[in-house]
Amino acid sequence: MTYKPGDEMVLKAAVPEGDDPLVDRDAFAHGPGELRRALPDPGGLFATLQRVVDATLVVFQVDGASLALEHEDGSLRWAVVTDGAARLLEDTQRDLGEGPGLAAHAEEAAVAVVDLDTDRRFARLAAVVTPRGLRGVLAVPVVVAGRPVGRCRCMPPRRVRGRGLTLRR
C-alpha cells in the first residue's frame, strides 16, 4: 500500500460544534457499507467509537490507541485515535505502507512489537516514530462476521516497554 498525493483525508467534526482531530468521519464514508447503513447517525457512531478507543487507555493501561477500518478499495485508514502520537503512528504506517497495524490486518493475527527501535520488521517506520518516543505497539485485527474489517492498535505504557511482553490466546 502506498500513499499518493490526493489521498489526503479531510477531518470533520465528530459533533456539530468544532473540529475534532482525533476522529476521521471520512474513514467510514467508503468503508464497511453494511455497518454504515445499519447505523443512521454517523455522528453517533464516531462518538461511540471514540469512547471505546479512549476507554482502552484505562482498561488496558496503555499510552495511546487507535481504530482503523478497511475501505471498499481495500485500504486501511484510521477512524479514531486517542491523541497526536497515535495519529502520527497511523499516518506514518499508511504513508510508508509498513507497520504492525498493517501487518496485523494482512496476516489476520496479532502483531506485538516490544521496541520498534530494535525490531527490524518495521525499520522505516521506526526511523520516523521512535525519535518521538513511540516504541511498543500491539495491533490486533478487528473481525466482524468472520471477515477482517480493520484493526485496533495500542501503545504500551513507556514505564513497562522493554520489560518483555507475553501474549495469550
| Segment 48-61, tens digit of pLDDT | 888 889 988 888 88
- Residue 27: per-residue pLDDT: 54
Q: Count CB-CB contacts under 10 A for residue 127.
A: 13
Which helix (H) or strand (E) segment is 28 a member of? none
Written as one string, the DSSP assignment of 43-87 is HHHHHHHHHHHHHHHHHTT-SEEEEEEE-TTS-EEEEEESSHHHH
**In-domain check, residue 2:** no
**Residue 147 maps to a domain:** yes
Does residue 122 sit within a domain? yes
Instruction: Say how far apart CA 13 and CA 152 lie, in whole Å.
Output: 21
pTM of the model: 0.68
Q: Is residue 161 situated within a structural domain?
A: no
Residue 64 lies in a domain: yes
Q: Digits of tens for pLDDT over the chain (169 positions)?
A: 333 333 333 322 233 334 556 555 555 444 555 445 544 455 678 888 888 899 888 888 888 999 999 888 888 889 999 999 999 999 999 999 999 999 999 999 999 999 999 999 999 999 999 999 899 999 999 888 888 888 888 887 765 444 444 444 3
pLDDT at 91: 95
* C-alpha cell, 126: 521506526
Domain that holds residue 132: 25-155
CATH number of the domain enclosing 141: 3.30.450.40
In this structure, is residue 16 part of a structural domain?
Answer: no
Would 7 be classed as within a structural domain?
no
Q: Which residues lie closer than 8 Å to 82 by C-beta, 6 or more apart?
A: 22, 53, 54, 56, 57, 64, 65, 66
